[in-house]
Structure 1
Amino acid sequence: MVAWIPALIVLVPMFGIFAALAAGDAQTREVLSHMLETVLPEYALNSLRISLAVTGGVLIMGVMSAWLVVHYAFPGRRVLEWALILPLAMPAYVTAYAYTDFLQFAGPVQSALRRLLAVDRVTWFPEVRSWYGAAWVFAGAFYPYVYLLARTAFADHSQRFFEAARTLGCTPPQAFVRVALPLARPALVAGVALVLMETLADYGAVAYFGVPTFTTGIYRAWLSMGDRVAAAQLCACLLFAVLLLLIAEARSRSRLRYYGAPGRARTTSRRTRLTGFRAMLATVGCAVPLIVGFVLPALIMLRLAVSELDQVPWPRYGEWVYNTVRLAAVAAAVACVFAVVLGYAQRLAPGRVTRIAVRLVGVGYAIPGAVIALGILTPVLHLDTWLGNRFGANGLVLAGTGGVLIYAYLVRFLPAALQSVDAGFARIAPNLDASARSLGVGGWSMLRRVHLPLLRRSVLTAALLVFVDVMKELPATLALRPFNMDTLAVVTSHLAADERLAEAAVPALTLVLVGLLPVLVLARAISRRA
């Protein structure tokens, strides 16, 4: 039953959101009716078409690059195989800031075109601040989710299936479409589900582009219209959409069965070597997603940072770094403690009750930050009111404190820590537990004396993952941070909103550099298995 403690903690925001469906007064109904008649259809349409465009983009970039690096040998393949995951270190809102500076009317691209064509305005140039501009940014930032899962699926499936299709008369494209893609379907569905969750949860990029989506609508109802209950009811709609994605992904996998041939065939020794023009096309095809998602945005932000380096308020920058590191370190430590307790409970009692609790904890990663923020504020404000009436406290007691923000981070990122810790527990042989019990060591003593020393690397990896995710988290931090406490993500968002992109470049690059740490760890693991 200990496993249910973190599960219930994660579910509190969801209870708060669903409780808001039965709340509200005439003002709330008026606000929702007004939004339904005016802006909600546009919010839904923008969210839908961005999601569809991003799905197509990540499938093309992720599947194409994964197929090429697994089955073909071409110049640069060894570097591209791990470098293709680098966009995971680049927050989507930072990519949006970079492309806006690069492609806007006053940016270097349009300025060069106007000089070249001798015109005052390039009318045919696409507008970067649009729904398709947001889809471009999300596709470049999130395709590594599909690439990683597709690469694993293509590498794990036996080469014999592909060769059998060729002997039966299939051309390479036909074998790819009729054999490889159906075998990789569960991995692709899971990758697309992750991408769509990240897309629906994003606030920084769409808010900066001025594209109204469901997430920006939640903040508009909350902050502009001043109705927290109406915003919570909109959160419930977004939460239903996320839960439908989770259910669809689970059903897609549960109704399919895929079996590989005995033993994993080593595709590395069977790669087809490409030469000439085909080799160049393969290199360019794998390099384009990397350039779009990481190289070009990083170079743009680096140019901005160098040009305005003397304008950076370095004393305040130190304060921003301190606030960010402090919050991220505390959240990582708390998440690791909860993950170890939950993983140990699952090891001791691997039954249905524990399994359900672990699945409920996993839902937290799919909940958008804005939904978590409102879901936490609903019970916290009620508790503040009760404390004020009970003890005569004035003002807010819990809301607006660092503890509430740490709680939001725990709900959001505990699944990331749990995944790493679970992998560490899986590597500990069960006979070690039996040996410890035979020597009179059991319970929490066995966790402390046997498991924790063996879990050191897994726990450190979990702490690193949570630390980086917390540093980049924007919606929950914007909504729940204590007064007069700015983090690197918040400052970057505020400076970019004021069109001070050059000043925002230094904190943005700091987030990118820190985000590279877990990505490089993952890249090292990929290069070892290649």
Structure 2
Amino acid sequence: MLPRIRRALRSTSLILLALLLTLPLLAVLGAWLPWGEGGAQSGAILRAMATTVLPGYLWTTLWLGLAVAVGAAVVGTACAAAVTLFDFRGRRSLEWLLLLPLAMPAYVTAYAYTDFLQFSGPLQVWLRATFGLEGRLLPEVRSLGGAVWVFIFSLYPYVYLLARTALGERAAHLMEAARLLGASPARRIRSVALPLARPAVAAGVALVLMETLADFGVAAYFGIQTFTTGIYKAWLSMDDRLAAAQLATVLLVLVVLLLQLELRAQRRMRFATGGVGHAGSTEAQPTRLHGASAVAAWLVCALPVLMGFVAPVLFMLRPLAADWSVLPWSRFIEWAGNSVRLGGITAVLAVGIALVLAFAVRRRRDALTRGVVQLVSLGYAVPGAVIVVGLLLPVGWMQAAAPGWGLPAIITATAVGIVWAYLVRFCAVALQSVQSGYARVSPSLDDSARMLGVGSLGVLTRVHWPLLKRSTAAAALLVFVDVMKELPATMVLRPFNSDTLAVVAYQLARDERLGEAALPSLALVAVGLVPVILLSRTLRASSR
């Protein structure tokens, strides 16, 4: 009888956890149900949007995604091929420098370029004063083209990382075999390297597209009408929850399609990289470049680092060096404290949930456990705008059904709602890191502990935990950094008078106070550098 009760409690706990982390998605989808708030109106609302705003949102989103996908694929693949297949002066440094744009939130890059390149920015002012010119001398930064530029040089590392891994495992060996068969360098790249990297590039492009679709800061700041900005406009400006829910559903469908593309590409990557041992791949060395070829390879790798990290950081340092007095030093500590507090709370809760789920999967890989883990893993692919709508819709339903009930106020007026949204989105990050740690823990340790009479809790605390400390620390760090940079959910769900660094940076930039926005923006970049440095160290260690 007791084992049955334990199994029932375990199943109930897993189901409740899955509901907690998938409620926003269920609420968005529930807006379409016939008995839902908008069941009778959903078709009419969608038809009305189809004749007004929906074509513009769809057209702009598709063009933005297509241009960013092509640009990120070209830049990321070219850099991966350069540092993997060739050897030239500075290659070792560029291998990790190419990761630096990961530390730059895309909206921070957008603020930096706008401050420097806009009509009243220092570059155009200097050009007009030096050459006696008038009017606008450079294209408008706040445009679809400007957004494409920002996204390409902010997100190409996703493609670079995956393509570099795929090429590093087999490319040098197969390229050497093709050389021995008489193939020219161009043919070796075209016929061997690029087909080998194609699944990895597809997976990286899918990740880039998901980040582009989920973005709010760049699109809103540049005035681009994408699905994400449309959702916030429908909810906050038009006060139309149903229209926001319909747009969120369309965006969710696009994200699911991209997620399927990424999963298919990941399966093809496992197939493409199997069957060759490490010894075979390390026998062949990258081709040594000299002269103009070495310079060209160096420029191919240095340009993305310059455009995606060095230039934006220098642009933001300019107002700091010019006038320190305009910076909001007195409020900076408060904003940083709010960001750190929310990041710390979310990191602890996310790691705790990840440990529970990973331990449950290790103990019993039944259908329920695997299903809950898969549902939780989907959270990171869901845009923050969709999560916000999914959390606020039930709040509206509860307020309409029971006006005096205090639960809606707890969600919207305290940190509960925003931490909930963070957990929905970032538990997947913690779970992936903890599961990777569990993959290195031998199952024989569990068997030995049970033979010695250690219970399940003892196995977790006395056997697993000492071996998972590094993985859980990495998981907490990744979640903490992601929370610090999160903008859409934070901007809507944060408690009153609890601004974070990301929100303040966006508000100051929106108010054309770009000099003051430099301080919180640089703080976000500094925080983002920590996991990037750890990642670069891991890659260097694995390549030795």
TM-score by length of 1: 0.94
Q: Could you tell me which residue of structure 2 aligns to residue 78 of structure 1?
A: 92
Q: Could you tell me which residue of structure 2 aligns to residue 314 of structure 1?
A: 329
Q: Could you tell me which residue of structure 2 aligns to residue 63 of structure 1?
A: 77
Equivalences for residues 130-279 of structure 1 within 5 A: 130-157=143-170, 159-254=172-267, 257-258=271-272, 260-264=274-278, 265-267=280-282, 270-279=285-294
SS of residue in 2 equivalent to 1:212: coil
Contact 2:119-2:125 within 8 A present in 1 as well: yes
Contact 1:307-1:502 within 8 A present in 2 as well: no
Question: Is 1:353 the counterpart of 2:368 in the alignment?
Answer: yes
For 1:462 and 1:92, locate their aligned partners in 2 and report how far apart those are by CA, in whole Å.
22
For 2:197 and 2:533, locate their aligned partners in 1 and report how far apart those are by CA, in whole Å.
25
Deviates more, 1:258-267 or 1:93-102: 258-267
SS of residue in 1 equivalent to 2:413: coil
Task: Read off the aligned partner of 1:20 and give its amino acid letter.
Answer: A
Segments of 5+ residues of structure 2 without an aligned counterpart are 1-10
Contact 1:388-1:394 within 8 A present in 2 as well: no
Tell me: CA distance 1:415–1:26, structure 2 relative to 1, closer, same or farther (3 Å): closer
Task: Read off the aligned partner of 2:67 and give its amino acid letter.
Answer: A
Q: Could you tell me which residue of structure 1 aligns to residue 121 of structure 2?
A: 107
Structure 1 moving runs of 4+ over 6 Å: 25-31
Q: Could you tell me which residue of structure 1 aligns to residue 350 of structure 2?
A: 335
Query: How far 1:225 sits from its partner (Å)?
Result: 0.7
Q: Could you tell me which residue of structure 2 aligns to residue 48 of structure 1?
A: 62
Tell me: CA distance 1:408–1:72, structure 2 relative to 1, closer, same or farther (3 Å): same
Query: How far 1:308 sits from its partner (Å)?
Result: 3.5
Query: How far 1:127 sits from its partner (Å)?
Result: 1.6
Task: Read off the aligned partner of 1:127 and give its amino acid letter.
Answer: E
For 1:521 and 1:232, locate their aligned partners in 2 and report how far apart those are by CA, in whole Å.
39
Task: Read off the aligned partner of 1:19 and give its amino acid letter.
Answer: G
Q: Could you tell me which residue of structure 1 aligns to residue 4 of structure 2?
A: none
Contact 1:72-1:271 within 8 A present in 2 as well: yes
Contact 2:379-2:425 within 8 A present in 1 as well: yes
For 1:428 and 1:3, locate their aligned partners in 2 and report how far apart those are by CA, in whole Å.
23
Tell me: CA distance 1:402–1:384, structure 2 relative to 1, closer, same or farther (3 Å): farther
Query: How far 1:327 sits from its partner (Å)?
Result: 0.5
For 1:108 and 1:34, locate their aligned partners in 2 and report how far apart those are by CA, in whole Å.
45
In the TM superposition, what whole-angstrom CA distance separates every residue of 1:392-433 from its partner, at most 9, and x where no partner exists? x59834323201110100011111111110111111111111
Q: Could you tell me which residue of structure 2 aligns to residue 423 of structure 1?
A: 436
Contact 2:199-2:268 within 8 A present in 1 as well: no
Query: How far 1:122 sits from its partner (Å)?
Result: 4.2
Tell me: CA distance 1:301–1:440, structure 2 relative to 1, closer, same or farther (3 Å): same
Tell me: CA distance 1:313–1:107, structure 2 relative to 1, closer, same or farther (3 Å): closer
Of 266, 280, 300, which residue of structure 1 is paired with 2:295? 280
SS of residue in 1 equivalent to 2:358: helix
Question: Is 1:374 the counterpart of 2:355 in the alignment?
Answer: no
Tell me: CA distance 1:252–1:493, structure 2 relative to 1, closer, same or farther (3 Å): same
Query: How far 1:350 sits from its partner (Å)?
Result: 2.5
Q: Could you tell me which residue of structure 2 aligns to residue 20 of structure 1?
A: 31
Deviates more, 1:473-482 or 1:245-254: 245-254
Question: Is 1:9 the counterpart of 2:9 in the alignment?
Answer: no
Contact 2:207-2:262 within 8 A present in 1 as well: no
For 2:273 and 2:55, locate their aligned partners in 1 and report how far apart those are by CA, in whole Å.
44
Query: How far 1:4 sits from its partner (Å)?
Result: 4.3
Tell me: CA distance 1:451–1:210, structure 2 relative to 1, closer, same or farther (3 Å): same
Query: How far 1:481 sits from its partner (Å)?
Result: 0.8
Of 432, 436, 454, which residue of structure 2 is paired with 1:441? 454
Query: How far 1:35 sits from its partner (Å)?
Result: 4.0
Query: How far 1:252 sits from its partner (Å)?
Result: 4.4
Of 401, 408, 417, which residue of structure 1 is paired with 2:414? 401
Question: Is 1:498 the counterpart of 2:511 in the alignment?
Answer: yes
Query: How far 1:178 sits from its partner (Å)?
Result: 1.8
Query: How far 1:69 sits from its partner (Å)?
Result: 0.8
Contact 1:93-1:204 within 8 A present in 2 as well: yes
For 2:385 and 2:166, locate their aligned partners in 1 and report how far apart those are by CA, in whole Å.
33
Q: Number of aligned pairs?
A: 527
For 2:90 and 2:512, locate their aligned partners in 1 and report how far apart those are by CA, in whole Å.
38
Query: How far 1:44 sits from its partner (Å)?
Result: 1.2
Question: Is 1:126 the counterpart of 2:126 in the alignment?
Answer: no
Percent identity reads 52
**Structure ranking higher on relative contact order (CA contacts 8 Å, 6+ apart):** 1
Query: How far 1:281 sits from its partner (Å)?
Result: 1.0
Contact 2:171-2:193 within 8 A present in 1 as well: no
Query: How far 1:261 sits from its partner (Å)?
Result: 4.5
